[in-house]
Amino acid sequence: MGHWLGATRLATQNDFDLASEQALVAKCRKQDYDAFGKVVDAYQARVLGYVRRFVHNEDEALDVTQEVFIKAFQAMAGFDGRASLRSWLFRIAHNLCIDRARKRNRMPAQMSMEPTIEGEDAFDFADVRWDPAQNVLNIELETVLEQAIASMSDKLRSVLVMHDQEDLGYEEIARVIDVPVGTVKSRLFLARAHVQRYVRAYVDSHNDWESSPKGVN
């Protein structure tokens, strides 16, 4: 199959419409490699992006992503179409990432279950791209955001990435991770609260440093 991972840059394609997806699935069930190659081409970049949030070694992330599609191809006969092909692939990826974490006996980062902010609106910062100094700060904030996401538990991170990065809806996420929709919403709230606290602490510390007398250590 000429569609497996390995390229540095992976193309991202739109989801298939229902009729196209059903036609592809029918062909894949007959072990049609070309048809499954189209599935890989459409979803490999998104699956890899999700896996990278849980597997921080790039080679391992590529291995896990390839394993997702191998398992999907082998299990295609059992795909009943009740979930979208996209969410089914994310479910396989999610389970593989959780299994790897368990094998390493990795303890998830602990976080308070008492959010200190209200509402679920995503934070944002003023668009100050014209200011070179602010450009540096924005780059730093992107790094801080990544650190904030990496520091939360797998349960919270998976919901945040699927909803805010991959645009999966509440019900779709609930099917992927096999929890009630209410649990998805509460985890997303907690994940966003965690990120906001993490970023706010960074911004506050940066502002404190800027306002301190120069030369004072």
DSSP letter string, 154-200: HHHHHHHIIIIIT---HHHHHHHHT--HHHHHHHHHHHHHHHHHHHH
Confidence of residue 206 (pLDDT cuts 50, 70, 90): low
Token pair of 197 as six digits: 């606290």
Dihedral, 173, 179, 181, 185 alpha carbons, nearest 10 = -80
Question: Is a pLDDT exceeding 70 seen at residue 189?
Answer: yes
Domain 18-103: which topology? Rna Polymerase Sigma Factor; Chain: A (1.10.1740)
Give the chain's end-to-end CA distance (angstroms, integer).
59
Question: Is a pLDDT exceeding 80 seen at residue 187?
Answer: yes
Please, are residues 27 and 35 in contact by the beta-carbon 8 Å criterion?
yes
Q: What is the pLDDT of residue 123?
A: 35
Confidence of residue 11 (pLDDT cuts 50, 70, 90): very low
Q: What is the pLDDT of residue 47?
A: 93
Please, are residues 194 and 159 in contact by the beta-carbon 8 Å criterion?
no
Is residue 36 exposed (0-12), middle (13-18) or buried (19+ Cβ within 10 Å)? buried
Higher pLDDT, 138 or 141: 141
- Domain 132-211 belongs in CATH node 1.10.10.10: yes
Give the separation between CA 44 and CA 61, rounded to whole angstroms.
Answer: 11
pLDDT digits (tens, 9 = 90+) for 158-185: 999 999 888 899 999 999 999 999 999 9
- Which regions of the chain carry the CATH code 1.10.1740.10? 18-103
Is residue 32 exposed (0-12), middle (13-18) or buried (19+ Cβ within 10 Å)? middle
Give the separation between CA 101 and CA 55, rounded to whole angstroms.
Answer: 9
pLDDT digits (tens, 9 = 90+) for 89-134: 999 999 999 888 787 655 444 433 333 333 434 333 334 344 445 4
- Which regions of the chain carry the CATH code 1.10.10.10? 132-211
Confidence of residue 213 (pLDDT cuts 50, 70, 90): low
Give percent of the chain with pLDDT exceeding 70. 71
- Number of C-beta neighbours around residue 21 at 10 A: 17
Confidence of residue 136 (pLDDT cuts 50, 70, 90): low
> What is the rounded average pLDDT for all residues in the chain?
76
Whether this model's pTM surpasses 0.85: no
Is residue 18 exposed (0-12), middle (13-18) or buried (19+ Cβ within 10 Å)? exposed
Higher pLDDT, 83 or 95: 95
